[in-house]
Each structure stands twice: as structure tokens, then as C-alpha cells.
A and B are shown apart, each in its own frame.
Chain A
Amino acid sequence: MAYSIPSDDHEHAIDTSGPLEYSTEENKLKILGFWVFLGAEFVLFSCLFATYIVLHGNTAGGPTSQQLYDVNGFMTETMLLLVSSFTSGLAIHAMRNNQKNQMIVWWIITMGLGAGFVGMEISEFVHYVSIGATISRSAFLSGFFTLVGTHGAHVTLGFFWMLSILIQIIRKGITPITARKAFVVSLYWHFLDVVWIFIFTVVYLTGKVV
């Protein structure tokens, strides 16, 4: 087995002409790998959507979606997540202009909006359970809590992931490695908003008319 020892110049070559997160081959590959992961996440959520849609009418005498969903509640959740997707985009924009402080401000605003979203969803779930609409009440509610709860768990994970990247940005600054990590978590955050758009449309809006 003859491995050639790669020279440092070749292996760690940094291309400073584009955004920092794409500046090395390793970074480019890791970002591509994350896109593949997001493709798989779409498939995961599509199974939960299919289950929910098929079981939507099976309420077993329990509350229906029209009785349960509150327009003001789910619109607030939608706005929080949509604006947080926008602010995380602004954080990456600041990062690409090497404005560390601006990036940190947008990053913290994004996390705050995300925490607000999770808080709203927890209080929504607690309210449902308090009026007897639990996950075991009907097939409809099993599908609902599994789909919306899986998304909420993703947002919660995303919040703590963003917190860990925030600490790294503060301590190490904007380097090729921290820039790539921040870019990947921003892709994840936008993806969670994409999934929410479909929950908003297929679960909440449709659930108000059917």
C-alpha cells in the first residue's frame, strides 16, 4: 500500500476568493453531505405527513382538527419561525462580510425567535392535553403529535446546536471551520422552516376547513 504523503499546501489549500465556508475541499464536501442529509430528512418528514393525512379523519369521537386548532396560535408560531429563518440568513450574510459582531447579534435574535417558537408549541401541546386531546386519544391525534412533535424536537435540537456554534464563533472568531459549521446549521434552520410551511398548510390551514 503506497500512500503518498500529501503536502500541506495541497491538502489544506484555502481558496480565499469565495465565501470562507467553501474555502477548502473538506468544507465543500461536508456542506454537500449536509444537503444529502436534508434530502433524507425530507423523506423522513414525508412519511409522518403521509401518516397524518391518512389518519386525519379518524378522530374516534374525540376532538376534530377544526375544534382544536387556534388561528392566532399557529399564525404566531409561523411568524416566529419565518422571521427566524430570515434573521439566520442575515447572520450568514454578516459572516460572509467578516462582520463578527453583527453576525452574533443576528444569531442571538434567531435563537430567541426559535426559543419563542418552541415555547409556543409546548404551551399549545400542554393546552391540548389539558382538554383531553392526548396522543392516545385518537389516530388523528397520534398522527398530529408525532408529526408536529418531531418537528418541534428538531427545532429544539437546532436551538442547542446554534448555541454551541455561537460559543465557538465568540471564542474562535470567523475561521474556515467555524464559518462552515455556522453555514451548515443555518441550512438546517431554513430546512426546519420549510417543513413548518408544510405543517402550517397541510396540518393547520387544511385542518381548519376539512
Chain B
Amino acid sequence: MDTSHHDGYEHTAVSTHREGFPWKDIIGLVLSLALTFTSLHIVLTHALPIGALITAIVVLAVFQLFVQLFLFMHLTEKTGTRSNIGAMAFGLFVAFTIVAGSIWIMAFNSSSS
């Protein structure tokens, strides 16, 4: 800890932290582009039966979600608190439950009426 910049720190504090070449961002971009165009290709060529096709592109979207969270948003970097992982996981759990639960109950509705 460096308190030597005590007076007027707001304008003079400079972190000694430095980062090298932004590999994480570039790998993230390449992976995102690959996943996006794979999804598009599967859809345009109707490469799979409809159920398998939708499952495949949703799985690819979830991969891209993880690319963004880990490579772009630095979810797991050790500089902050780790509680953000719990907040994200809980938000995603509730989101998944709402979407999957809605599809499930509405599919049941239409098959029973």
C-alpha cells in the first residue's frame, strides 16, 4: 500500500499495475466470431433436424456467454471481491428457471387443451 500520494490523490494516483498484450480480448473476439458464424451456418444450411438445431445454437450461445463473462468482463480476476461470481450465478439460475419453466408449462398447456 502506497500512501505517499496522500494529498490530492484523486488526481495523481497512478497504479503500478500494467497489463501486457490484450490476448484475452483478442481470443474472446475470435471465439465469439467463430461461434456466431457456426450458428448462422447451421441455420442457413438446415444442417440438423429442427429440435437438435435449436439445441445446438442455444448451446453455442451459452458458450459465447462464457466467452464474454470470462474473457471480456474478467468475471474471475482476483483484484475485486469474488462475490460477483455468486451474484452472476444466481441471476443466471433465476433467468434459466423463468425461461425453461415458462416453455415447459406452456407446452403442457397446449398439449392438454
Contact = CB atoms under 8 A, between A and B. Distances in A.
Interface of A: 8-9, 12-20, 22-23, 28-29, 31-32, 35-36, 38-43, 45-47, 49-51, 53-54, 71, 75, 78, 82-83, 85-86, 89-90, 93, 96-98, 172-173, 175-177, 187, 190-191, 193-194, 197-198, 200-202, 205-206, 208-210
A90 B95 CA distance: 29
Contacts of B53: 209
A40 B80 contact: no
A32 B46 contact: no
Given A54-B106, A98-B15, A18 B57 contact: no
Contacts of B88: 35, 38-39, 42
A104 to B, nearest CB: 17
Contacts of A51: 102
Contacts of A47: 98
Given A42-B91, A43-B94, A53-B102, A17 B16 contact: yes
A16 B87 CA distance: 27
Given A43-B94, A90-B22, 19 more contacts: A13-B1, A17-B15, A19-B79, A36-B84, A41-B91, A46-B99, A78-B36, A82-B29, A82-B32, A96-B19, A98-B14, A190-B72, A197-B65, A201-B58, A202-B61, A205-B57, A206-B57, A208-B44, A209-B53
B32 A201 contact: no
A-side interface mostly: helix
Contacts of B50: 209-210
A18 B17 contact: yes
Contact of B44 (A18, A23, A71, A85): A71
A50 B105 CA distance: 11
Interface of B: 1-3, 5-6, 9-11, 13-19, 22, 24-25, 28-29, 32-33, 36, 39-40, 43-44, 46, 50, 53-54, 57-58, 60-61, 64-65, 68-69, 72-73, 79-81, 83-84, 87-88, 90-92, 94-96, 98-99, 101-103, 106
A85 B102 contact: no
Contacts of A89: 22, 24-25, 28, 72
28 contacts: A14-B2, A14-B3, A16-B15, A16-B16, A17-B1, A17-B2, A17-B16, A19-B79, A20-B13, A31-B80, A39-B87, A39-B88, A42-B92, A42-B95, A50-B98, A50-B99, A53-B103, A75-B40, A82-B33, A86-B28, A86-B32, A93-B25, A96-B15, A97-B18, A98-B15, A201-B60, A208-B44, A209-B54
